[in-house]
Amino acid sequence: MVDEAKRELERKREEKYQKWKDGDHRTVDGESHGHSSTAKQSDALYDKDSETPEGIRWMLFSYDGRMGRKKFFMASILALIIFWSLLVVLWLVILDWNTIEGFLVSVLTLVPLGLWMQSATVVKRLKDMGAGPGATAGYCALPLIPYIGFPLQFLWWISLVLKEGTPGPNKFGADPRDIAVYENY
């Protein structure tokens, strides 16, 4: 019975989508609002295979797809907030905060998580720019250079935020800012 209800709901949804695709853009009150999208645009909007499951898990932990500048900036800030919050909680609440050992254990415990979040966001951003995995390894290894590693990494991060990605699809996937789909909206 539940399967029948799901099938009926899916059938109604498909009918609505087909009407919309064929040019019927009326709202619930029956008025048309003059949207004139093409079949190509509607297919791009509703093609289940082309959608990337974007969310916090995708932004911070997945290496799939490409990431635009805005999402990269937001993901980087979110990763910093998560990392430092966990570090403070682990150091102050769980471990002995009066000792350097407590701080070191906290840092060493969370470094793999921080590297994972950093490398996942940087990989997707560099894919958007058309760069390969070697660039990501270089970015993550920069802090190992004494004295100048962190400043160089910060400058590179700023360039990742400011520089536009490859327009259109590249060998790593579709353009994350494909606005041609939304031209008429």
Q: What tens digit of pLDDT does each residue of 10-69 get? A: 888 778 777 766 665 555 445 544 444 444 444 444 444 444 557 888 889 998 888 999
Q: Say what the pLDDT of residue 108 is.
A: 85
Q: Which residues contact 116 (CB under 8 A, 6 or more apart)?
A: 61
Q: Say what the pLDDT of residue 48 is.
A: 46
Burial class (CB in 10 A: 0-12, 13-18, 19+), 106: buried
Residue 182 pLDDT exceeds 50: no
Q: Say what the pLDDT of residue 142 is.
A: 87
44 DSSP 8-state letter = H
The strand pairing partners of 170, in sequence order, are 173
Residue written as token pair 């590249």: 170
Mean pLDDT in residue range 145-160: 91
Same domain for 101 and 16? no
Same domain for 91 and 29? no
Task: With respect to residue 143, please indicate whether it lies within any of the assigned structural domains.
Answer: yes
Same domain for 81 and 151? yes
Same domain for 44 and 78? no
Question: Are the C-beta atoms of 112 and 96 separated by less than 8 Å?
Answer: no
- Express each pLDDT in 102-136 by its tens digit: 778 888 888 899 989 988 999 999 999 888 778 88
Q: Which domain holds residue 133?
A: 56-162
Same domain for 139 and 111? yes
Residue with the larger pLDDT of the pair 174 and 159: 159
Question: Count of CB atoms within 10 A of residue 152's CB?
Answer: 15
Same domain for 116 and 75? yes
Same domain for 73 and 119? yes
Residue 82 pLDDT exceeds 90: yes
Q: How many domains does the chain have?
A: 2
Query: What mean pLDDT is reported for the chain?
Result: 77
Same domain for 78 and 153? yes
Q: Say what the pLDDT of residue 21 is.
A: 63
Same domain for 151 and 63? yes
Task: With respect to residue 22, please indicate whether it lies within any of the assigned structural domains.
Answer: yes
Tokens of 105: 């254990």
Same domain for 45 and 131? no
Report if pTM > 0.85.
Answer: no
Question: Are the C-beta atoms of 69 and 162 separated by less than 8 Å?
Answer: yes
Task: With respect to residue 135, please indicate whether it lies within any of the assigned structural domains.
Answer: yes
Residue 170 pLDDT exceeds 70: yes
Q: Say what the pLDDT of residue 53 is.
A: 58
Q: Say what the pLDDT of residue 35 is.
A: 45
Same domain for 67 and 158? yes
Q: How far apart are CA 85 and CA 101, in angstroms?
A: 18
Same domain for 62 and 131? yes
